[in-house]
Amino acid sequence: MSSLVFLSVYPILFVVATSTTTSRTVSPSTITSPYSAPSTLHTTITLVSSNTKSVTIVPSPKILISDGNSSLVTTNSNISSVNVSNSQNNNSASYCSSCLSLPVALIFALLFSLTILVGVLGNAFVVAVIVSDKKLLFSSVNQFLLNLALADIGNLIFCAPDMAMVLLDHGWILPESSCHYLRFLQEYFLYASVLLQMSIGIERFLAICTPLRMQRFSTKTTLIVVLSMWSIAAAFATPYFISQGIIRVPRTNQKYCIWRGISASTRVLFKWAEFIVLYAAPLLLLTVLYTVMGRVLWGQSETIANETQQIAILKLRRSVVKMLIISMLLYFLFYTPIQGLFVMETVFMRTVHMPSWLRLLLNALSVMSSSANPIVYIMCCRHFHSRFMAMTR
């Protein structure tokens, strides 16, 4: 428990530590993640040379040295705009339209910390409830919910260091070898979360609209589907493990974990596939499936049912689908703003100018997408609600 608390307050500790050693204005490395975790962005870095001549960096996967002044030209899967400025030079250029003051940075550190803490504890509660009840554990939909909770826990845990470094604004301060692993794990759990959300929608559709087919959906089949989703997530996350590396910024000697050894065209092609397979397709598919399920369930009248048991089953299915619809809507509601920004800046290479605090707010919303499910379950599911109330007494 102590390690969990430390992890959740990680961003606050970093910002406070920085404020006690320097009096500079916090200029956050504003990030734009394509999927809920702080990952997959493109970098624009502005450096200030020793002769006060500013050098604006445009996305391109290489390093340029010109006129004796070192300038970094790169792309980053993780940071939409990294503001690298000379704190001793008043003429330093910055991409952000308004850098964060220390109080605002502390507010965001508190927001990220609370979100991560609530999300990890909430999803751990979901895991404990399902695992402790054999009847729940052997239900196909609950097996998907169990794995979704595990994916969200991983997503929240591995996004915490990135959020801390963003607010600290000292570049990559972890060991260089951690760049590959952290990027891979961020994307791995993020992609698994999206794919498992989609699998839950398909499972419920089969159970409600094609019950005869669902009878063949055994525990073994569920396990195969779950393992397939984790495998697909790993396959899509592997390029981050292979192509992410550390770049040192000349003069400041700060390090950044960015894309390396991959052409810009290849990266854009990969991002298109990532956007379609892991955002657009799941959103479209889930919208269609839940619309059909809603028409089937709410189109039936309880008075038509011949038996009390059928009425109870109908109400239960409505309750579960309502819970899953709310969960899906919140996920994409929290995630769509940052996804839109990601598409504009990473896929279409169009810079979107906005205040640094707004970019951080969009990233905070994306992190909340991994923390919202337990709250929805407790509010909408009688079993989770009763277990939660029993724990809080």
Per DSSP, 132 falls in state T
pLDDT for the residue 89: 33
Whole-angstrom distance, CA of residue 60 vs CA of residue 81: 14
What is the model's pTM? 0.75
Residue 38 · residue 158 · CB < 8 Å: no
Pairing of strands 255-259, 244-248: antiparallel
pLDDT for the residue 302: 52
Residue 200 · residue 144 · CB < 8 Å: yes
Best CA proximity match to 250, nearest among 57, 25, 28:
57
**pLDDT one-digit tens code per residue, 65-121:** 222 322 232 333 333 333 333 333 333 233 343 367 788 888 999 999 999 999 999
Q: How many residues does the chain have?
A: 393
CA distances from 363 to 32, 114, 160 (A): 6, 14, 12
Phi and psi at residue 55, in whole multiples of 5°?
-125, 115
Low-confidence ranges of the chain (pLDDT < 70): 1-99, 215-217, 300-309
**pLDDT one-digit tens code per residue, 197-229:** 999 999 999 888 887 777 666 778 899 999 999
Tokens of 122: 């909430």
pLDDT for the residue 124: 97
Whole-angstrom distance, CA of residue 130 vs CA of residue 133: 6
Residue 344, class by beta-carbon neighbours within 10 Å (0-12 exposed, 13-18 middle, 19+ buried)? middle
The residue whose two tokens read 């990266």 is: 267
Which DSSP string do the residues of 97-154 spell out, in sequence order? SSPPPHHHHHHHHHHHHHHHHHHHHHHHHHHHHHHT-HHHHTSHHHHHHHHHHHHHHH
**pLDDT one-digit tens code per residue, 122-136:** 999 999 999 998 888
pLDDT for the residue 261: 78
Q: Can you list the domains of the chain with their CATH numbers?
A: 2-392 (1.20.1070.10)
